[in-house]
Structure 1
Amino acid sequence: MKAGIHPNYREICFLDSSNGFKFVTRSCANAKEMITMEDGRELPLFKLETSSESHPFYTGTQKSVDNMGGRVEKFRNRFGKTAAK
């Protein structure tokens, strides 16, 4: 393999900033900060806005479009007749 052309693939800590959930995996993501883990390792820190711990789809708090009060039907009732002209 050629030297100097491959990305820096290493262990990195991802932090969900919405709830403080941390997980460690291997990645090429660029990180500007470092974090000291509970076991004493110092790893690069990459901050996330959402993860599987806070995303509505995975937590079961996602709202379905069908259950939002019939918005599509209300729209069709109000404006469906004007488009036929």
Structure 2
Amino acid sequence: MRSKIHPNYRTVVFHDTRIDRYFMIGSTVKTDQTVERDGKEYPYMAIDVSSASHPFYTGEQRTHDGEGRIAQFKRRYRSRK
């Protein structure tokens, strides 16, 4: 196996700023920030959305009940002769 070609894989603390929740996950993300958790210092990465706050995963996603653009076009211009 060749040396110095693989990224540095380590435990990183991700902070979902939308809901103020922290996740400790193994990652290769590059960051200069650090945070202390459980008495140890870990690399820190702030994120805007995660599976804990995304509407699709939380069940808060809204669906559009109206008809689509193509259906509107077909309804509007059907059999005009």
TM-score with structure 2 setting the length? 0.79
- The corresponding residue for 1:72 is 68
Greater per-residue helix proportion: 1
Structure 2 residue runs of 5 or longer lacking an equivalent are: none
User: Alpha carbon RMSD of aligned pairs, Å?
Assistant: 2.5
- Residue pairs, 1:22-61, within 5 angstroms: 22-37=22-37, 39-61=38-60
Structure 1 residue runs of 5 or longer lacking an equivalent are: none
| SS across alignment from 2:15 | strand
TM-score with structure 1 setting the length? 0.76
Aligned residues: 79
C-alpha deviation, 1:4, in angstroms: 1.6
Q: Per-residue displacement from partner, 1:9-44 (whole Å, max 9, x unpaired)?
A: 01111110111111101110111210111x111100
TM superposition outliers: structure 1 runs of 4+ over 4 Å: none
C-alpha deviation, 1:8, in angstroms: 0.4
- The corresponding residue for 1:16 is 16
